[in-house]
Structure 1
Amino acid sequence: MKDTYSTIDVQNIDGVATITINNPPVNVLDVKLMNDIQHFLTDIRNDDKTKVIVFQSANPELFIAHVDMKLIDEPHVLDELAKNVPEGLNPFQAFAEMIRHQPQVTIVKLQGFARGGGAEFVAAVDMSFAAIDGSGLAQCEALMGIIPGGGATQYLSQRMTRGRALEVVLGADLIDAKTAEKYGWINRALPNHELDAFVQRLACNIATLPDGIIAAAKNAIPAEDLTNGFVRESNEWARLFIQPVAEKLIREGLDNGAQTIYGERNLEQLLRDQL
């Protein structure tokens, strides 16, 4: 297993690997972070001693901000990621699908905001639990002239009604933890002071189950085959991404404070003011 990573910290105790995302200033989902997580998941995939993976953030305000908007000027940096992408998927979908099909149980402990690719990350894991105060999820891509392109249209359609999925994608608002729980985006919204202990207890309980139980449960409750939906999503995302309006809105967003701590605190309004 790789000993050091530049954007995540790894702690593995009694079958539970805790991954702390630490990619300052706002935990943007850039190539470095995607590479680190993919390398970790590959390294740990066949480790029978690791039963559960818990993802958390070192930043109490932001879990994963969203995909790096600066990629609009550096699309070539995705070339390496794209080399091993399965047919029918784009690199962002392949990243989420790697998480969704990990043999270990994957859990997100959400404190702070997760938008765009960060929200797709939350939807890709097996289970997610959020702090009631200060946590939220958003698919705000519509405010950048595009739609989600990393799996959200398909994951949300599995987790909630079509109407609610369209509300999330087209409304492009930040959804609080209690509403996200009601919609099925996350498992539970918990009081902040209870979140750590709840997730720790659940992860440890799962890790102590007899060998074979996790694999049997995952086989009996399989992840849905979303192949055709991913193709539709990627085609529509790519069609919109090359339009001048998308480039304009993304560049203006960066100029106006996106990917800064200040701008990310109210990103939806920052982006909406540009329309």
Structure 2
Amino acid sequence: MARGGGAEFVAAADMTFAAIGRAGIGQIEALMGIVPGGGGTQYLAGRVGRNRALEAVLSAGLYDAETAERYGWVNRAVPADELDEVVDRLARNIAALPEGVIAAAKHVILPEDLAEGLLRENDAWMGQIMRPAATGLIRDGLAHGAQTPDGERDLEGLLRRLAR
């Protein structure tokens, strides 16, 4: 499961893969009264487009592996028992490339300039995190076990119940 900062890490990675039936990814910050930070909005929009990024951020839902693949959030969704084999094979193939090919590919296949978008994201996050609603939702989430294994299993549900 990758939520919040974990989902931001996934979106920032060069390549990601998800196990069908086990993986889930979501930007849940809206349930805490804030927007994603850490480049989450910028990398996500670059991967899935503005419309789907807005859906993911504003729905604060947990997306399964197949949906994340269809949206472009992850490269590929594969059966859980095949995930290690798929990723290991790709890693071996990449590692076997002639010297300089990886660096050259990463040099020519650049993400868009993120500087302005990251500044906007930071300003929006800072504007929300200081609001009483966000402070209260985050405090209540922690008080109700959002950081515990049980809370993590249904984090979206826990936060939605608190927001009512």
Tell me which of the two structures has the higher relative contact order, counting C-alpha pairs closer than 8 angstroms and 6 or more residues apart. 2
What residue is the counterpart of 1:159 in the other structure? 47
1:223 positional shift: 2.4
What secondary structure is seen at the aligned counterpart in 2 of 1:257?
coil
Once the two structures are superposed, residues 145-180 of structure 1 have per-residue CA deviations (whole angstroms, 9 ceiling, x without a partner) of: 100011111111111132211110000000111000
Q: Secondary structure at the match of 1:131?
A: strand
* Cα distance between partner residues in 1 of 2:61 and 2:110: 30
The amino acid across from 1:138 in the alignment is: G
Unmatched tracts of structure 1, length 5 or more? 1-112
**Identity, % of aligned positions:** 61
Map 1:210-221; keep pairs closer than 5 Å.
210-221=98-109
Within 5 Å, give how 1:34-183 maps onto structure 2.
Answer: 113-183=1-71
SS at match of 2:44: helix
Q: Distance in 1 between matches of 2:154 and 2:117?
A: 31
Runs of 4+ with deviation above 2 angstroms: none
TM-score relative to the length of structure 2: 0.97
Alignment equivalent of 1:234, drawn from 105, 122, 131: 122
Partner Cα distance (1:127, 1:198) in 2: 12
Q: CA deviation at 1:200?
A: 0.4
3-state SS, counterpart of residue 11 of structure 2: helix
| Length, aligned pairs only | 163
Aligned-residue CA RMSD in angstroms? 0.7
Instruction: Write the deviation string for residues 123-160 of structure 1: whole angstroms up to 9, x where unpaired.
Output: 11100001001111010000001000111111111111
TM-score norm. by structure 1 comes to 0.59
Deviations 1:228-247 (A, max 9, x none): 00000000000100111111
SS for the counterpart of 2:136 is helix
For residues 161 and 232 of structure 1, the distance between their equivalents in structure 2, rounded to whole angstroms, comes to 17
1:19-34 equivalence runs, <5 A: none
Identify the residue that residue 256 of structure 1 maps to in structure 2. 144
